A and B are shown apart, each in its own frame.
Chain A
Amino acid sequence: MAERPPHEPTAPTAGGGAPAPAERLAPHRRPLVRSADQRVFFGVCGGIGSALGVDPVLVRLAFAVATAAGGIGVAVYLAAALLLPAPPPGAPRRRYRDRVQEAAGLGLLLAVGGAILSATGILLPLDVLGPGGLLLVGLALIWRQASPDATISLPELARADQRDTARTLIGLLLVGGGALLFLRLGTSATAFVSAAIAASIAAAGIGLLVGPRLRRARVEAEAERGERIRTEERALVAARLHDSVLQTLALIQRTSDARQAQLLARRQERELRAWLYGGEQAGAPETFAAALRHAADAVEADYGVGVSLVQTRDAPLDADLEALVAAAREAITNAAKHAGVEEVSVLARVTDGEASVFVRDRGRGFDRAAVAADRRGLRESVEGRMARHGGRATIESAPGEGTEVELTLPRKTT
C-alpha cells in the first residue's frame, strides 16, 4: 500500500491543502473533541490540532499523506469524526457559509484525483476500497453507539436515544454491505488482504495514541456532568434552606422570648414540611383540609397563638365547605384574640352526611348573655354564616372554663 500515490477521496477530510481561515495555534492544550471553529468537514483535524497544540494544517497534511498511502487517511478521518466527542454546545462555531466553499473545492479535488488515480491503477481498486470503507465506517458507528457519549446533555437524552438507534442500524447495514461486497471479490481479494493488514496496523497505532486520551476525556466529561447536576441540586436545596430555615434559626437565636421562638419554629416546621412532602403551596387551596390548614396557619401567624389542627378525612372544596372554613377561621381568631391562651385545638371531621369543625380553647371563657352585644364576630361571621348555608353553630362557654365552638354542616353527597 505504501507505494500507492496520494490523493484520494480522503483528501477532503484531511483538508490537506485547505487554507483553513481561522487557523491559529492553540495556546494551550485542550480536551480532544471535534472542533467547532476550525472545521471544514467534521472538525477532526481542527480538534486534534488544538488538543495537541499544533496547527491544524499540519494535521491535515498528515491525513493527506496517510490517504496517499492507500486510502487509510479517509477511513481514519471518518472513524475519528464518529468517535470524537462533539464540540461543547456553547463553543463558537465557524459559519457554514465560510466553510462550504472550501469543502466543495476539496471534495471536487478528491473526486477527480481519486478517479484519475484509480483509472491509472495506482490506487487500490475501487472494489476493494469501497467495501473496506463501508466496513470501517459501520464498525465505528456501532462502537460509538455502544460507548456512552459524554457530550449529550440531559435535555437531549430522549432525542439522543433515537439517534443512537439510527446509528446502530446504519452501522450494521454498512458492515453487512461491506462484508457482502468483500465476499463477491472472491479470489481477487488477495490484494485487499495486504491492504487490510497495513490499514489495521496503522489504525492500531492511531488507536494506541488517541485511545487513552479519548477515554480520559470521556470519563472526565462524565464526571463533570454528574458533578454539575449534583451541584445544581445542592444549590437549589441550599437556597431554599437559606431563605427559610437558616433565617428562622437566626431569628430564634436572637429571640429571648421562648414563646416567640416556639411560634417561629412551628411556622418554619410547617413551611418546610409543605415543601418536603409536596404541600398545597401554589394558588388557592382546593380541598377542605387544605383550606382549613391555610386558615389555621394564617391565624397562628397573625396572633401568635398555636393552632393544633386535627383532620383525617378530606373533601373537595365547595361553596358550603368554604363557608364552614370561613366560620371556623372566625372562631379560631376569636379564641386567639380573646381567650388568652397559647394554644387552640381544632378538630375537623368529614363524614358522608356532614362536615363539622370543633374549635376549643381552655381560656378565660365568657358569659354569652353579658358580652353578646359586642361579640359581632361570633354572631355574624359564625352563627349567621352557618345558618345561611344550612348549618348550625353551637357555642359553649363559661367564665373560666374555656370555650368550644361546634360548627356542623350537612352534606348533600350520598
Chain B
Amino acid sequence: MNRPLRRVVLVDDHEIFRAGLKAGLGPTVEVVGEAGTVEAAVPLIRSLDPDVVVLDVHLPDGGGQAVVPAVHAERPGVRFLALSVSDAAEDVVAVIRAGARGYVTKSIAPEELLDAIHRVADGDAVFSPWLAGFVLDAFGGAGGTGATSGASGGAATAGSSSPDPELDQLTAREQDVLLLIARGYMYKEIAARLHISVKTVESHVSNVLRKLQLSNRAELTRWAAQRRMI
C-alpha cells in the first residue's frame, strides 16, 4: 500500500523507549520532534505542527491529557494517539476524552503501531482490544443481549443529562465491532466477518470514539476509576 509520509512527534519521558519507537517506524513516518515533558511538548508541537503526536499517557509533569487541549486551541489539525504501558483506565479514558483519537499499549507490534499512526492521521479512531473491551463494559451493553441491559443503563443515566441521549448508548452494530476488536480481530477481518466494508468499520469505531468523548455517562468515570488495565 502506498502511504503518504507522515510527520510525527513523539512525547514520552523514556528516551530509550522513544529511540526504540523511532527505529521501528520505517520509511512512511518521519519523526520531526521529540519531547519528554508536558512543558516541552506543548510549544514543540505548536511550532512543528505535525500530523500525529504519539503521546505517552503518563508524563512526569502531568498526564498526557494536559497536552491535548493545550495544543488543540492553536493547532486543531494535530491528531493524538495515546499510548501507555499498563495504567489505570482512568488515565486512558481521560486522554481520550481530552481529544486523543486512539489508544494502544506500548507492547504493540511495530507494524501495528505504524498502522495506527496512519489511521489516526487519516482521521480515524484506533482502539486497542483492551479499550474496546472496556468501552463495551462501560456502556453496559452485553454483546448480543444489548436490549435489556441497554435499556436499564439508559434509565440509570437519564439524570446525567447528556445533550443527546443517543450518545449514551452504543448501537448493536457498534457493539459487534467493538466485541470483535476486543477479541483480537483486525479491521479487515471484522469487515469480512460482518460483511461490511473496512470504511464502515472505521466509521463505527469513530462513532464510538465520539460517544466516548462526549457522553456524560457517570459510569464511564466510575468504571474507569475502578479498572486497571490487565
Contacts and interface: CB of A to CB of B under 8 A. Distances in A.
A351 B184 CA distance: 19
B133 interface: yes
Interface string B123-150: 0000001101110110000110100010
B129 A351 contact: no
A351 B182 contact: no
A360 B184 contact: yes
B129 A349 contact: no
Nearest to B223: A312
A358 interface: yes
Contact of A293 (B132, B145, B227, B230): B230
Given A277-B228, A310-B129, A311-B230, A345 B149 contact: no
A273 interface: yes
A404 interface: yes
A353 B145 CA distance: 9
B137 A360 contact: no
A347 interface: yes
A339 interface: no
A273 B184 contact: no
A347 B129 contact: yes
Contacts of A277: 228
Nearest to B128: A310
A313 interface: yes
Contacts of A286: none
B183 interface: yes
A199 to B, nearest CB: 59
B230 A351 contact: no
Interface in A241-292: 266, 269, 273, 277, 289
Contacts of A266: 107
Nearest to B130: A310
A266 B137 CA distance: 27
A347 B183 contact: yes
B149 A289 contact: no
Interface string B143-186: 10100010000000000000000000000000000010011110
Contacts of A346: 184
Nearest to B132: A310
Nearest to A266: B107
B149 A347 contact: no
B230 A347 contact: no
Contact of B183 (A273, A351, A354, A360): A360
Contact of A352 (B149, B227, B230): B149
A360 B149 CA distance: 26
A404 B183 contact: yes
A313 B185 contact: no
B133 A347 contact: yes
Given A277-B228, A312-B137, A347-B133, A358 B183 contact: yes
A349 B133 contact: yes
B17 to A, nearest CB: 13
B86 interface: yes
A293 to B, nearest CB: 7
Contacts of A293: 230
Interface in B65-119: 86, 89, 107
Given A309-B230, A312-B227, A353-B145, A345 B130 contact: no
B83 to A, nearest CB: 16
B222 to A, nearest CB: 13
A308 interface: yes
Contacts of B142: 349, 351-354
A345 B129 contact: yes
A352 to B, nearest CB: 7
A345 B136 CA distance: 17
B193 to A, nearest CB: 10
B136 to A, nearest CB: 7
Contact of B230 (A269, A289, A360): A289
Given A273-B86, A289-B230, A309-B230, A351 B133 contact: no
B134 A351 contact: no
Interface string B183-197: 111000000000000
A349 B137 contact: yes
Give the interface centre of A308, A311, A347, A404 by most chain B CB atoms within 10 Å. Answer: A347
B185 to A, nearest CB: 7
A168 to B, nearest CB: 44
A345 B230 contact: no
A200 to B, nearest CB: 56
Contacts of B182: 310, 347, 349, 358
30 contacts: A266-B107, A269-B107, A293-B230, A308-B129, A308-B184, A309-B230, A310-B130, A310-B133, A310-B182, A310-B230, A312-B89, A312-B134, A312-B136, A312-B137, A312-B227, A312-B230, A345-B129, A347-B129, A347-B179, A347-B182, A349-B137, A349-B143, A351-B142, A351-B145, A351-B149, A352-B142, A353-B142, A353-B145, A360-B185, A404-B183
Report the 8 A-B pairs with minimum CB-CB distance, sorted nearest first: A345-B184, A351-B142, A358-B183, A310-B129, A347-B183, A347-B182, A312-B133, A312-B137
Interface of A: 266, 269, 273, 277, 289, 293, 308-313, 345-347, 349, 351-354, 358, 360, 404
